[in-house]
Amino acid sequence: MAASTEEMINLIGPVLRMQLGTGERYPVVRFVEKTDRSAVALSISESMDEAGIIAATKALGSASSVEAVGVDGVGAFEIDPADETSTGRVAGRVLIVTGAAQGFGLGIAQDLAKEGACVVLADINDTEAENQAKALRTEYGTNRAMAVSMNVTDLASIHSAISETVKTFGGFDGFISNAGVVKAESVKTQPAEDFDFITAVNYRGYFLCTQAAAQILALQHKACPDYSSDIIQINSKSGLVGSNRNGAYAGSKFGGIGLTQSFALELIEDGIKVNSICPGNFFDGPLWSDPDNGLFAQYLKSGKIPGAKTVEDVRRAYEAKVPMGRGCTTPDVMKAIYYLIEQKYETGQAVPVTGGQVMLH
């Protein structure tokens, strides 16, 4: 069966990005239907497989000499050379962050942009994701941020978001699976639909995102065997130790670590490192502090903290559980993210960032 135009873009864009890159800097490869630039013709048929497309791009030369590439029946790919002047720990990388419209996800995307990355803010709340991406573009530059609509429980939505990323940048170098939900309640009373919802987002969603992201990342490795990339799941300390009256959430996070270890064993052959980060409680984010649906409010309602009369009572009780006496923050998590990206000899790990509340053994 002949490939669709979108499938061809998802094949050609990442291969061009790798072929025209230098070192660890890769150009922006932007798909357009027509271009005013001087375009090099690339002969690619719909029946070509990945190996054939990779072979066809070998004669293009360096990014500095190619302004655009035209492919009959598909369109054109405009080439903007990599910005060699950008600095930071992830300079030149394109990174997708799910659940990036607010909370941890937004903080992660903002810090990645500050450290030189082009960031893709993926969220089911695409309006707020676009607002935040616009702010990042204003601060860092036109090509430095974009928003995509993504429902991590819907494979078609994930593929669509990744395709938009490829059309804009030509590919990406890392996928941070941050989107997550929690509905805390006793196993004795929790509705099955709530359990299913938590599992669908936190567990199945991580599987679907990894499955879709790995296709592009593996293709880039095939085009450039020295290239490596990252999938990082933002898990939780509840993935390391059970959570009273919050079993659905803890179960989904325990399962996520099992997926991470299994994905890591399989995807390393594609140059993809897969790791989890297990943060402690982000008390200041909406997950905990939302006055109506945050965990402080949920735990007060469910009676998880005996004797607690207010959400402040619940917060103080949780702060007291942490040896370092405070909740986890975005900068704490960012240090772990950068470690996992920079450390080339680490995969399949669940890195705790818990202030000593949960220790590995």
Is 194 within 8 Å of 248 (Cβ atoms)?
yes
Q: What angle do CA 188, 189, 195 make, to 5 degrees?
A: 100
Quote the CA–CA distance of 190 and 197 in Å, as a whole number: 12
Q: 174 - beta bridge partners?
A: 95, 230
Element (H, E) at 118: strand 118-123
- Among 203, 249, 299, 318, the one annotated catalytic: 249
Q: Respond yes or no: is residue 249 known to be catalytic.
A: yes
Is residue 241 within 8 Å of residue 247, measured between CB atoms? Answer: no
For Cα atoms 355, 280, 347, give the angle at the middle one, nearest 5 degrees: 95
Burial string for 136-152 (b: 16+ CB within 10 Å, else e) reads bbeebeeebbbbbbbbb
The number of angstroms, rounded, from the C-alpha of 93 to the middle of its chain's C-alpha atoms is 12
CA distance 231 to 267: 10
Are the C-beta atoms of residues 229 and 214 closer than 8 Å to each other? no
Please state, in angstroms and rounded to a whole number, the distance separating the CA atoms of residues 23 and 46. Answer: 30
Positions marked active-site: 249
